[in-house]
Amino acid sequence: MADGDEWGELALETKTFIRWAISSLLDSAFLAFWVWVQWLTSGKVIAPLKLSGVDQWVLSAFQILFGVSTLAPVVIYIYADIRVMLLRAQRRIQQEKKLGKASGSTRATQQSRPPRTRVSQALIEDQTDDSSDA
């Protein structure tokens, strides 16, 4: 049975890694697309205009504003993905710590039976209370 647990854990880790890899690729593609749009706008649209004076300053201000406003969603998505990855890793570390605190015999019995729900735990406690009353 322990062999099945190892395969299940390996499948879960592989699924998590694939999810992170795809998420990172999408975030990178989104960022590369942003850079490409900035290059295209600057080199192909604005450069041929040959502006000077106040017009150049206004255009530069709008370029900066446009760049920042279009970069914000990219940064937010990348931050959210990284934050989710960190939270899941932290949760997994906490679960491993809880398993590590359990003794060897208790850990073996915990792995062989399904996890208890609140209802099953309450039923077990009720049975224990009934047997102590008798």
17 within domain boundaries:
yes
The H or E element spanning position 72 is helix 54-101
94 within domain boundaries:
yes
Q: Residue 18: give the domain boundaries.
A: 2-101
What is the pLDDT, as a whole number, of residue 85?
87
CA angle 108, 111, 115 (to 5 degrees): 135
67 within domain boundaries:
yes
What is the pLDDT, as a whole number, of residue 16?
83
- pLDDT digits 0-9 by tens, 78-88: 899 889 889 98
- pLDDT digits 0-9 by tens, 1-32: 456 678 888 888 888 889 888 988 988 998 89
Check whether 39 has a pLDDT greater than 80. Answer: yes
In 4-126, which ranges are E strands?
none
83 within domain boundaries:
yes
What domain count does the chain have?
1
Is 31 within 8 Å of 72 (Cβ atoms)?
no
Share of the chain above pLDDT 90, in %: 9
Share of the chain above pLDDT 70, in %: 72
- In whole angstroms, what is the distance from residue 103 CA to residue 125 CA? 22
Is 104 within 8 Å of 2 (Cβ atoms)?
no
34 within domain boundaries:
yes
CA angle 81, 95, 121 (to 5 degrees): 120
- Output 102 or 76, whichever has higher pLDDT: 76
107 within domain boundaries:
no
Q: Rounded to a whole number, what is the largest CA-CA distance in the chain?
A: 96
In Å, how far are 113, 118, 120 from 126, measured between CA atoms?
Answer: 20, 12, 10
- In whole angstroms, what is the distance from residue 106 CA to residue 57 CA? 72
- Output 89 or 120, whichever has higher pLDDT: 89
- pLDDT averaged over every residue in the chain: 78
65 within domain boundaries:
yes
